[in-house]
Amino acid sequence: MTEYPDGPPGVGTRIILIGGPMTVDDGSTLDSRQPVTGDPACNVTRSSLATSLLWWITASSLVGQILDSAGDDPYALVIGNRSVVELRQDGRLRRLGLRSILSGGTSTVELIRTHRHEPLPAGYIYDDSMSQLFPGGEGVGFSLGEPGQRWRFLSGLDFYMPWAGPKLGATVIVDTSETLLGSSETDAGPSAGIAWFFKRLEKHRLYSDDIMLVMPHTYRTESIFRGYVEWVNAGRPSQFLLDLGGPRTKWDPTAPPDPIAYTCPVPVQADFTVTGLVQDGEWQDPSDLEAARSLLQARYDLKIGIWDLVGNATLRRTLLEAVPSAPPPPIAVAIPRAASQRAESRVAEKEAGQRTRRVVAEHLQPLIERGWKPGRGESWALYFPMTEPVLLHPGRDPVALVQLKLMILRRQCTVSAFTMMYRQFDIGQYVLAQRALFEEIAAPDTCPLGHNSEPTLWRGPGGWADDVDWGERAIALVERTQLWREAFKELCEECYRVRPRMFDP
């Protein structure tokens, strides 16, 4: 189990949920806080709110008022969707970038894995607080985005948030992703492992006393945060039972596409408001906060901070008309018909693609005989090991230190190279130093290369959706495989020579 930095957050953290009743594109009405039949994780309502222009209008008005009351260069860190979905007059859907609707400017905060001896891009900061977990100088590099931009999108692995998060300086986190609430730790019924999930929630999102977390309000979200409050008040025990309903599900790479993953009702009318608030370790009535948000949105002339307005009894009595939000209907709601039909169409496309890829894979036997291996659950990817396998982590399978990767995409195929020892060896520089050789191997097709951690050695036109002679292509790639192996011989030998030996038998 991964251990994160010590020290739980203080009770000053605020969790704000936004949701409520809506009418979606087929005329159906539902409340985002209702349970959804056949969807215990509430991915349908979460996805609907996360991509809703109406939800973002409410969320951005609240966040903007919070930033108005904050200190120097405040900003909101957005984790999740970067676009919204609109219904066109002809019934089709179109996407709009969030950048076009968020006022105050947008930028990007990036987290990258790095080593203390590796140069970072200009403007990036190196943090070595991970050294207790990864000895030897491994750390995280991060950029803070452009100063003055009130909205900054998170790019990079969420894994590094426990270390980088406290140093990013975000005032608010707006999280519409399924990174946390869609994880397997919350898929069970009564579960003692939920305590580990709560600890992870604190380290990845609630990492400081004054951070504010804004999320879509679904039945699942409320269940989890009510359980979180109980867990905190119980003293954060290592064993804690929370019944979220539904059986535990395991990822199955061979399973057919899940329609729920493609189901997204589009709200065309909604009354989205602040419907949930966790503050000072308690679940509280959000009506004062919603009343303050509505007032400040309507009265631009009022120069009052939103928390001053909420926290001052005199101002509340004088200016606010707090109306408790109506509770959601107590029954589960069916998935709206139009969203279900769109999902069925997407699933049919995915299944057709899977069938086609399986047919393609049958013609790639020459590559399998040469030593290429299918990726786990990836009928569209093959890997070729160019070194002996090495045990890098206890409890995991040995892996080759340098590998080729064949990707069969819809309209093209690519072969790239990567090394598990990317911190010690710059594979991008290695291939660029031999550009002429790699271009000759790829000819007559293209060889894009590029200075990155997985340079593309070969790109061929035509993918699984095209009429390609896959038998002929497989034979041509077998011939190139031997040439690539010879071209990487020096790098492979060096990687194997300095390989980590702490787990060698």
Residue 123 and residue 81 in contact, taking contact as beta carbons nearer than 8 Å: no
pLDDT averaged over the chain? 84
Helices (H), 71-185: 161-168
pLDDT at 378: 56
CA angle 104–110–114, rounded 5-degree value: 160
Q: 368 is written with which tokens?
A: 């399998």
Q: 47, exposed or middle or buried, with CB in 10 Å at 0-12, 13-18, 19+? A: buried
pLDDT at 12: 58
Q: Is the pLDDT of residue 254 over 80?
A: no
Q: Which residue bears the tokens 């939103």?
A: 306
Return the domain boundaries, the chain. 14-286+334-344, 363-497
Order of all β-strands in the sheet with 267-270: 29-31, 21-24, 267-270
pLDDT band at residue 7 under the 50/70/90 scheme: very low
Report the C-alpha gap between 43 and 51 in whole angstroms.
12
Report the C-alpha gap between 123 and 140 in whole angstroms.
14
pTM: 0.79
Q: Is the pLDDT of residue 20 over 90?
A: yes
The distance from CA 255 to its chain's CA centroid, rounded to whole angstroms, is 22
Q: Is the pLDDT of residue 429 over 80?
A: yes
Query: Which of helix, strand or coil describes residue 44?
Result: helix
**Which pLDDT tens digit goes with each residue over 300-339?**
778 888 888 888 888 888 888 888 888 898 899 999 998 9
**Which pLDDT tens digit goes with each residue over 28-58?**
999 999 999 989 889 999 999 999 999 999 9
**Can you give 86-106 as a three-state secondary structure string?**
EECCCCCEEEEEHHHCCCCCE
The distance from CA 123 to its chain's CA centroid, rounded to whole angstroms, is 24
